[in-house]
A and B are shown apart, each in its own frame.
Chain A
Amino acid sequence: MRWFRFALLILAVTVLQKGLLARWGSKPDLLVILLVFFAIYYNTSDAIISSFTIGFAADLVGSPMPMGPQMISFGLFGTLLAYLHRVIAIKRMPYQALAIFATSVLTGVMTHLLVYITEGESVAANIYTVVFVTSLYSSIVGPFLFLPSAWWMRIKIARFGRH
């Protein structure tokens, strides 16, 4: 893993998510897309570190939610996905989209559950709709962002071959 490139990529995406995308009501979660990318294309140890780091970045821009819930949920599901990838290869675009959708839904639900447990405040009534819409957008956009991410991280990914 090229950690310096990884740090720059995460930083750029975090700033993009908080600055450019924050004013849009419905938007993809770029950090979840990166979470799936690193879980799929890197070894398990690197995937664990990157999952928690991406979760920490999501927490940094996640106010008014407290810090911590996204780090835990991203870390947990990123690690699970990395282990799952050792059994089932997720290399074709539809499967990647499905993996992004499932990971986004699970991390979203767990994040809000953790906030509910710690804060004791009820979450927004439409939170499941928001999580679903964000996951849908992420799964549509995500697989197309894997190619530029792979180029930046200097790794080769076979896109259209059978695996």
Chain B
Amino acid sequence: MARKQTKVSRRMLFTWFTLTGLIFLFAPQNLTSKFQLAFVHVFRWPLTIGGNLVMTAQTQQPLAGTAGPSEIQYRNAIENFKKTLAQQQKDFDKLYGLYNTYVWEGTDFVLADVITVTVDGSRNELTIDCRKTTGLAKGQFVLGDECIIGRISDIFPQISKAQVDLFTDPMSKIPVKIAEFKNIMKGTGNNTAKIEMAKNKVEVGENVFALREAGFLDAPMIVGKVSECNRNQENPSFWDITVAPACNIKQLEDVAVIIMNTQK
């Protein structure tokens, strides 16, 4: 007996699929991004293996005189302590007198494993597997090798996954401080960020710190180092500063999310 076959015209096929695409496109992004996180959750094992293979291939033996990953981590930690100390001293002198508290008091850190790292020209993000999800919220800063690497952009608590927009992402804008000058730093997408139209020239290698932000960051933390400082092409009295991350983001295996104590 011949099997009955339903025939759908090509025009109908195209219309149905286009409509599906439009529904996805105009549905709220916090809903559709759950599909993306769920995909990463289901296929985390092959995705992590793939990432580890690339990291192994890209890892080079450090040459004599160059800093290895752990040395970079220690240097960043030292810079953070120095800056924190300076900030504490300033707070102490200006406002609190004898009343002072350690900046990280009441702060919680959520450790997370990096599942995928996307660093191409148009997108710079991480997908992370958080070991606990209580207290996680959008906008929280994420640390890698003791320096700020980005902020939480989306969370899927049911599967303990979160997305991190790196500060090098073209959509990222964070207030920073370089040598006492405050500016807004924007991501370029090419694993660097830029401060455009800065009024002051800064030295290459100068540390760039993320500014304190109520509820998210209690002390300035290192975010990167100045890799270039050139005059703005349109207005030569201003400077364009290029900032490179203070750690090798592509090689990160785990990160920490800063959860500030809002009751403090």
Main SS at interface, chain B: helix
Please tell me if the beta carbons of A20 and B50 are within 8 angstroms of each other in the complex.
yes
Residues of B within 8 A of A123 (CB): 122, 170
Q: Which segment, of A30-38, A71-79, A87-95, A155-163, faces chain B?
A: A71-79
Please tell me if the beta carbons of A126 and B188 are within 8 angstroms of each other in the complex.
yes
Per-position binary interface string of chain B over residues 52-94, scored 1 when its CB falls under 8 Å from any chain A CB and 0 otherwise: 0111001000000000000000000000000000000000000
Residues of A within 8 A of B188 (CB): 124-126
Smallest CB–CB gap between A69 and chain B, Å?
Answer: 6
Smallest CB–CB gap between A26 and chain B, Å?
Answer: 7
Please tell me if the beta carbons of A22 and B116 are within 8 angstroms of each other in the complex.
yes
Q: Which segment, of B28-36, B138-146, B256-264, faces chain A?
A: B28-36
Main SS at interface, chain A: helix
Number of interface residues of B (CB under 8 A): 55
Residues of B within 8 A of A20 (CB): 50-51, 53-54
Partner of B20, one of A52, A66, A69: A52
Smallest CB–CB gap between A42 and chain B, Å?
Answer: 13
Q: Which segment, of B41-49, B99-107, B221-229, faces chain A?
A: B41-49
Chain B, Cβ-Cβ closest to A17: B50
Residues of B within 8 A of A100 (CB): none
Q: Is B190 an interface residue (CB 8 A)?
A: yes
Please tell me if the beta carbons of A68 and B25 are within 8 angstroms of each other in the complex.
yes
Please tell me if the beta carbons of A66 and B25 are within 8 angstroms of each other in the complex.
yes
Please tell me if the beta carbons of B49 and A19 are within 8 angstroms of each other in the complex.
yes
Q: Which segment, of A2-10, A56-64, A144-152, faces chain B?
A: A56-64
Smallest CB–CB gap between A30 and chain B, Å?
Answer: 13
Residues of B within 8 A of A98 (CB): none
| Known A25-B190, A65-B123; contact A44-B10, beta-carbon cutoff 8 A | yes
Q: Is B117 an interface residue (CB 8 A)?
A: yes
Q: Is B200 an interface residue (CB 8 A)?
A: no
Please tell me if the beta carbons of A121 and B21 are within 8 angstroms of each other in the complex.
no
Please tell me if the beta carbons of B17 and A48 are within 8 angstroms of each other in the complex.
yes
Q: Which 5 A-B pairs have the closest CB atoms?
A: A19-B50, A68-B25, A130-B121, A124-B170, A68-B24
Query: What are 26 sample pairs from A and B whose C-beta atoms fall under 8 A apart?
Result: A15-B47, A18-B40, A19-B49, A22-B119, A23-B58, A23-B118, A25-B191, A45-B8, A48-B14, A55-B21, A61-B36, A62-B36, A63-B36, A63-B37, A64-B171, A65-B123, A67-B29, A67-B36, A68-B24, A68-B25, A72-B22, A75-B21, A76-B18, A121-B171, A124-B122, A130-B122
* Chain A interfacial positions (CB closer than 8 Å to B): 15-16, 18-20, 22-27, 44-45, 48-49, 52, 55-56, 59-69, 71-72, 75-76, 79, 112, 114, 118, 121, 123-127, 129-130, 133-134
